[in-house]
Structure 1
């Protein structure tokens, strides 16, 4: 029983470190955030941090995976709760979800995209974790396009993802949701062709 409690405690500590690191990385960036900042925010020692994660990169991968879990679930739930009937309209709800985030003040962009950009061609494992998120979103979009019996649904899902990612970057730069709304309009046009 005591061993089980220790495992839960270790798991909770690990989760707390991931959530804290996630918040700091999201606000400050990955290269700009040192391990000391994470240690200071969590109150744990470097030794404990490295016991759970062999490197800062390992912690970043865990934070990307955490982001993917919460964000993918939030987007999928948002779409599923929609009363829209048309599968294409459901696929394009990712833009509405993003616009709501930006309008609510989340101007940090996509955590996975931020990590991929900062570690492009430098850390294969980080890039792979980021790709899991992007591919899952593409798969979600493709699922609805397939339900709509759209030909070339995979290619179209990639195009929609390109518009989505571009909208994320533009809204981050402009600090408003207009680029997202414009990207959704463009996505509607390519879906209707």
Structure 2
């Protein structure tokens, strides 16, 4: 069965996603995006008035894709609401070991463009908050649940950076130990 061709906007978006994540936002010029997505310059600018507009669309697109993957990966590794975090390290290990892994697109984007792209910081913050909400749902009910989820979110960010530096096993082991303690209200 034939798959329908992607629209010009979808081709630009998927190309931007792949190039921005793999090579970086600043290293990826509009001309390269146009060439690799196979659209005309006029078509590109009809869909995205500027590179900054595309960066924001990329962050929204990446957020939706990554969150869908994260929830699915947690489920595949046995996560259940209120039952703790044993699946967290396994799910993240799957991502860290993917050959396409280049760290967190949101951390990378904040480092690269920060506040120079209006709206980028807010999208990154929202992404982290939604990730923490998913984590909170896995924790047992009780006082301090949101705070524990926030602490685990910070630990996830640290583990991502460690994995990006090439110490994947160390990142996973550390995150698993901290998540086990924090899941039960301990300090890990």
**Interval of TM-score (by shorter of Structure 1 and Structure 2):** 0.7 to 0.9
In the alignment, which of 119, 122, 125 is matched to residue 128 of structure 1?
A: 122
Tell me, yes or no, if the aligned pair for 1:164 and 1:180 is still in contact at 8 Å.
no
Q: CA deviation at 1:175?
A: 5.2
Q: Tell whether 2:135 aligns with 1:141.
A: yes
Q: CA deviation at 1:35?
A: 0.5
Deviation string, structure 1 residues 56-101 (Cα, Å, up to 9, x no partner): 0111111111111111011112223444567343x45233212112
Tell me the distance in 2 between the aligned counterparts of 1:113 and 1:27.
Answer: 14
Q: Tell whether 2:77 aligns with 1:78.
A: no
Q: Tell whether 2:20 aligns with 1:25.
A: yes
Tell me, yes or no, if the aligned pair for 2:78 and 2:87 is still in contact at 8 Å.
no
Tell me the distance in 1 between the aligned counterparts of 2:114 and 2:106.
Answer: 12
What 5-or-longer segments of structure 2 have no aligned partner? none
Q: How many residues are paired up?
A: 182
Tell me, yes or no, if the aligned pair for 2:110 and 2:121 is still in contact at 8 Å.
yes
Find the counterpart in structure 2 of residue 105 from structure 1.
99
Pair 1:159–1:84, CA change in 2 (3 A): closer
Alpha carbon RMSD of aligned pairs, Å? 2.2
Q: Tell whether 2:111 aligns with 1:117.
A: yes
Runs of 4+ in 1 over 4 A off after TM superposition: none
Alignment of 1:29-178 (within 5 A): 29-83=24-78, 87-89=82-84, 91-145=85-139, 148-174=140-166, 176-178=168-170
Pair 1:108–1:83, CA change in 2 (3 A): closer
Tell me the distance in 2 between the aligned counterparts of 1:141 and 1:163.
Answer: 12
Tell me, yes or no, if the aligned pair for 1:142 and 1:157 is still in contact at 8 Å.
yes
Deviation string, structure 1 residues 36-74 (Cα, Å, up to 9, x no partner): 110110121222111111110111111111111111011
Tell me the distance in 2 between the aligned counterparts of 1:98 and 1:87.
Answer: 19
